[in-house]
Amino acid sequence: MMMMTAPACAQETIPVVLDSVKTDTVVKSAPRKLGLIRRIIRGFDKVDERYIEPQHYVYAAMLQGTRNYDYYTLRSAGDNRQSISFSPDSEVRLGPYAGWRWVFLGYTLSLENLSVNSHKSGFDLSVYSSQIGLDLFYHRTARDFKLRDVNLGHQQDYSALNNVSFDGFTTDITGFNFYYIFNHGKFSYPAAFSQSTIQKISCGSWLAGFGYTQNSFDLDYELLQSVIDEKMGAKRVELDSALQFRNIKYVDFSLSGGYAYNWVFARNWLLGGSLQIAASHKRSTGEMSDKKSRSFSIQNLNLDGIGRFALVYNNMKWYAGCSVVMHTYNFSLSQFSTNNTFGSANLYVGINFGLKKKYREKK
Provide the residue-wise pLDDT of the chain in tens; the chain has 363 residues.
433 333 333 333 333 333 333 334 444 455 555 565 555 555 556 788 999 999 899 899 999 998 888 899 998 876 678 899 999 887 788 889 888 766 667 777 777 665 544 555 566 677 777 888 888 888 777 667 899 988 888 778 888 899 999 988 888 888 998 999 999 999 998 899 888 899 999 999 999 999 998 888 888 999 999 999 888 887 778 888 888 888 888 888 899 999 999 999 999 999 999 999 998 887 776 555 444 444 434 356 788 999 999 999 999 999 999 999 998 988 877 777 888 898 889 999 999 999 888 887 776
- Residue 27: per-residue pLDDT: 45
Q: What are phi and psi of 291, to 5 degrees?
A: -65, -35
Q: What are phi and psi of 301, to 5 degrees?
A: -85, 135
Q: For residue 84, tell me if it sits in a domain.
A: yes
- Residue 18: per-residue pLDDT: 35
Cβ pair 204, 171 in contact under 8 A? no
DSSP state of 231: H
Q: Name the E strands within the chain.
A: 52-53, 57-76, 83-88, 92-100, 103-106, 109-110, 121-128, 132-140, 145-151, 165-166, 169-181, 198-199, 203-219, 247-266, 269-284, 301-314, 318-332, 336-355
Q: For residue 10, tell me if it sits in a domain.
A: no
Per the structure, the complete domain to which residue 95 belongs is given by: 44-362
Q: For residue 250, tell me if it sits in a domain.
A: yes
Alpha helix ranges (H) inside the chain:
2-43, 189-193, 221-232, 291-294, 357-362
Q: What pTM, to 2 d.p., does this model score?
A: 0.78
Q: For residue 90, tell me if it sits in a domain.
A: yes
Q: Which residues pair with 39 in a beta bridge?
A: none
Question: What's the CATH number where 174 sits?
Answer: 2.40.128
Distance linking the first and last C-alpha atoms of the chain: 66
Q: For residue 1, tell me if it sits in a domain.
A: no
- Residue 283: per-residue pLDDT: 77
Residue type, 147: L
Look at the chain and report how many structural domains it folds into: 1
- Residue 315: per-residue pLDDT: 94
DSSP state of 80: S
